[in-house]
Amino acid sequence: MPGEVAKLGIILFIAWYLSENPERIRSFKYGILPMMALAGGVFGLIYLQPNLSTAITIFIIAIGMMFVAGAKISHLFVIGFAGIVAGVFAIFVDPDGGYRLARMTHFTDPFQDHLASGYQVVQSLYALGSGGFRGVGFGRSIQKNLYLPDAHNDFILSIIGEELGFLGILLLLTAYMLLIWRGINVSINAKDMYGSLLASGVTIMMGVQLILHVATVTSSMPPTGITLPFVSYGGNAIWMFMIAMGLLINISRYKP
């Protein structure tokens, strides 16, 4: 989807814009506002697809990079409040029949509407529960056979939990934590501000998608269409993350 390209594009732009003049981040008018205008424009276009989850991810990435660059906390609070208002508006003004509002109201107890808005989450929980500690065995998932929609994409972690169990998920999350820690380390040790912001943006993108994906499949938040980095099926998402990792590795080659 174009949203996958937009995420990396936003990271590249913000890193360039703030590194050109680091003092911009202290100004709301010349630093924060232009970046929010860009992020807001991209948010709106992706929302019209409609794809609210990817739009929210872009917004979080922008805020995270501004925080790393040294934005004032008061400015970030203003942006966060505006983002919450926009998110609430997007949920209630739903062009697709109110399914977003249904997801918001039913995620805490998806079994109350297990044949409609709660269906995916219920099937996801069945998969995770069936896997137990060690799983049913690689390739032996039942839920992926016409029970759990998007089992290869938005709910891939549920199938991993079913086949490889809690142990398999723990090993996978450990690998992600190691990768995120290395990304933070690269950002801290980058030779210039551009490299530091670029590395932080890539790391934030990966961390945000990981958190949202895990929260979705475990019914810790309303269901969103967020892929699991490097694991979920999807051409654009995998290509963009591969490019992002190439940028991260290249930044790590040059230390002060």
pLDDT digits (tens, 9 = 90+) for 169-217: 999 999 999 999 999 999 999 988 999 999 999 999 999 999 988 988 8
Question: What range defines the domain where residue 39 resides?
Answer: 2-252
**Size (the chain), residues:** 256
Q: What is the pLDDT of residue 187?
A: 93
Q: What is the pLDDT of residue 197?
A: 93
Q: What is the pLDDT of residue 224?
A: 73
The distance in angstroms from the start CA to the end CA of the chain is 37
User: pLDDT means per 10 residues in the chain (256 residues)?
Assistant: 84 90 85 84 78 81 89 85 75 59 64 70 85 87 82 85 92 95 93 92 93 86 80 84 93 80
Tell me how far apart the alpha carbons of residues 187 and 256 are, in angstroms, rounded to a whole number.
12
Q: What is the pTM of this model?
A: 0.84
Nearest Cα neighbor of 21 from 8, 5, 4, 34 is 34
Q: What is the pLDDT of residue 36?
A: 84
The total number of structural domains in the chain stands at: 1
Tell me how far apart the alpha carbons of residues 65 and 194 are, in angstroms, rounded to a whole number.
11
Place of tokens 């911009």: 24
Query: Are residues 180 and 206 in contact, defined by beta-carbon separation less than 8 angstroms?
Result: yes
Nearest Cα neighbor of 230 from 157, 125, 162 is 157
Tell me how far apart the alpha carbons of residues 250 and 256 are, in angstroms, rounded to a whole number.
14
